[in-house]
Each structure stands twice: as C-alpha cells, then as structure tokens.
C-alpha cells in the first residue's frame, strides 16, 4: 500500500498497464518530456521509451489516430489537456469511436481510452472548468467513467484500458491533489459499470461522482447525528448502475443527486427520471438535485457561486429529509 493522491494514482494505473501490455501507448499534447500540464504522466516518458508520445497540437487528429490505432489492435490511451478541448474531436468520438463496433457488427472495435481533466474550482482560464459529462453519456457506444478517489482512479483506469470498448475517463481536477488515500501496489481492477456505497445510511440516498464527492462527504460528516446519509458514488456514468441506485432509494426512501453539471438534460436529471420510473412508490419525499446552473461556466471570480457548495448540499439534504 502507498498513500497517493488522485494524480499519482492515475499515473500508477498508466504505469501498470504500460508494463503489462506492450500494445498500450500514451499520446497527447505535452505528456512526454513535460509530464503533462498537471504532471500526471511525469516520469513515464523516461520509464517507457517510445511509448509516451508528444503529438502536434491537434485534438481531432489525436482522437482519430486513436480510433485507427485501436481498430488495428493496439490500446491507445490519449490525453486531452482539458475536457473543454475535446470538442474539436467530437465528430470522431460520436461518429466513429462510439459506432465502429455496431457499424461493423463487431468486426472492428475501438478499445481506446480518452483521459481529460474536468470540472471547476481551480481559478483556471476560460474553457478549463466545465462539467459536460452528459455529452458523452448521451453518446451511445461510449463508456463514461469519473473517479472520486485514488483507489478508484487507479482501478477504474486499468479496467478502462482493458475494456473492449471506448472509454471517456474524466479526472476530477479540483480534487486531484486534495484527496489522498492508501492505494494497493501493483495491478488491480475496479470493474466499470458499478457504483459504490461510500457511506451507509437510512434516511436519504445522496448520489454523486467525481469532483463533487469531496463536498458531499464533508456535508455528510457535518450532518452526522442530524440525518443518516447513504452516499453513493456513481463512478461509471455510462453504463449506469441503476440497480444500485434503486436498491439504495428503496431502503432510504429519499434521493438527492449532487453534480456540477448544468441542470437541464444533466446526468443528474437522468438519475431522477430512473428513480421516478422505477421506485416512485418507495419515495417519501420528492427527489431533488443540486447542480450547476443552466449558464455558461463563469470565469473564476464567480465559479464558486456556480459550483454547488457544501452548505447548499447540506441544506438540500435537510430539506429532503424533513419534507
């Protein structure tokens, strides 16, 4: 066991797979000698000569090359420097990566991973702070994974690299360094498609993921004694572990979803819809969500008024519990 933050856990996951599988290569902008703008790949350039590759500045080219490489049988793991710069490659993700298996009835597949830091709260420049996971969840054929802690980050990343289908792996940059935990040495897998219960409780189910999880756990700790809170970390947004959400809601009878996304058509909204369809009669209070606004992510002076705060989450929990 080694104590690591999320960045280090991601790096260790990449290292394990580079070691284990000669078909794994990493490429992207500034990930080589510079070790990535967040230093996620620091050291890997020297440790795995020729397999951690700096590309020209071309997101579409990077993602499209990964599609070709994956179809040819390799396991490319590409980094897009910030999730706000994936958009130039959307056509490749939507029209090719996600569809290759279906279009060829399984003859060609696309086992690639796209890693990108997402979410706000680090006083970054414009376009560096959005939480647009719903785009990818809405793209049929992609898997979408967002870890919230070092253990999951490493295990989910290894699972994503080994997965036979394309995976978007969004990294919670606000808590990259803020969350530390013991991580097993060597290789292990956290299976995709399964949520985890981070905290058991009986009054309310709070579903969240990624960057928001730290505030959710802090809120739950602060409400100790006032409400018995079950915290469910979704971890994989697509395919979604609806069964675990329903089972928890059937137990607690209440639901709050916390996410940083814009509200309309959010993943949070999908969770509410699933619960409404499948567990309405177990609910003792209307299900709720705390999300960002339907606004463009503001520049940093207002970003903390956009991102759901711990206080907002606590208030929402108490509102739902005391409905």
Ligand X SMILES: Cc1ncc(C[n+]2csc(CCOP(=O)(O)OP(=O)(O)O)c2C)c(N)n1
Q: Does 280 bind another protein (CB under 8 A)?
A: no
Tokens of 120: 């706000």
Q: Which does 210 bind (CB under 5 to 8 A by kind): ligand X, another protein, none?
A: none
| Residues 6 or more apart whose Cβ sits within 8 Å of residue 39 | 7
Q: CA–CA separation, 159 vs 11, rounded Å?
A: 14
Tokens of 262: 């814009």
| Cis peptide bond upstream of 135, omega within 30 | no
Q: Does 285 bind another protein (CB under 8 A)?
A: no
Q: Does 128 bind another protein (CB under 8 A)?
A: yes
Q: Does 75 bind another protein (CB under 8 A)?
A: no
Label the pairing between strands 75-79 and 113-118: parallel
Tokens of 16: 């394990």
Residues in 259-278 that interact with another protein by CB under 8 A: 263-264
Q: Which does 60 bind (CB under 5 to 8 A by kind): ligand X, another protein, none?
A: another protein
Residues in 63-82 that interact with ligand X by CB under 6 A: 81
CB of 127 to ligand X, least distance (A): 7
Q: Which residue lies nearer to ligand X by CB, 29 or 241? A: 29
CA 287 to chain centre: 23
Q: Which of 22, 47, 57, 280 binds ligand X (CB under 6 A)?
A: 57
Please name the residue that has the structure tokens 């697509």: 238
Q: CA–CA separation, 182 vs 196, rounded Å?
A: 17
138 is catalytic: no
Residues recognised as catalytic: 128
What is the binding site for another protein (CB under 8 A)?
29-30, 32-35, 37, 54, 56-61, 84-85, 87-88, 123-128, 263-264, 293-296, 298-303, 305-306
């Amino acid at each position: 066991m080694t104590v690591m933050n999320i960045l280090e856990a991601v790096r260790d996951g990449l290292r394990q797979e580079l070691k284990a599988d000669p078909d794994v290569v990493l490429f992207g902008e500034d990930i080589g000698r510079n070790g990535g703008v967040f230093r996620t790949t620091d050291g890997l350039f020297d440790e795995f000569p020729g397999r951690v590759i700096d590309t020209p500045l071309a997101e579409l080219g990077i993602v499209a090359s990964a599609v070709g490489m994956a179809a040819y049988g390799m396991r490319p793991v590409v980094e897009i420097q910030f999730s706000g710069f994936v958009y130039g490659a959307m056509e490749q993700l939507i029209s090719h990566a996600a569809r290759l298996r279906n279009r060829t009835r399984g003859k060609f597949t696309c086992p690639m991973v796209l890693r990108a830091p997402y979410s706000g709260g680090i006083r970054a420049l414009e376009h560096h702070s959005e939480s647009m996971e719903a785009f990818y969840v809405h793209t049929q054929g992609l898997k979408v994974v967002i870890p919230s802690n070092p253990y999951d980050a490493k295990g989910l990343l290894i699972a994503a690299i080994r997965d036979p289908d394309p995976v978007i792996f969004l990294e919670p940059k606000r808590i990259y360094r803020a969350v530390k935990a013991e991580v097993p040495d060597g290789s292990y897998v956290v299976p995709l498609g399964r949520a985890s219960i981070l905290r058991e409780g009986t009054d309310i189910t709070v579903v969240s993921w990624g960057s928001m999880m730290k505030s959710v756990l802090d809120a739950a700790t602060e409400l100790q004694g006032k409400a018995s809170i079950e915290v469910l970390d979704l971890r994989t947004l697509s395919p979604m572990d609806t069964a675990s959400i329903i089972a928890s809601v059937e137990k607690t009878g209440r639901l709050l979803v916390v996410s940083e996304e814009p509200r309309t058509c959010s993943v949070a909204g999908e969770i509410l819809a699933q619960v409404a369809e499948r567990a309405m009669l177990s609910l003792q209070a209307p299900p709720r969500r705390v999300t960002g606004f339907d606004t463009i992510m503001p520049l940093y002076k207002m970003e903390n008024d956009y991102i759901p705060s711990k206080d907002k989450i606590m208030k929402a929990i108490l509102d739902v519990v005391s409905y």
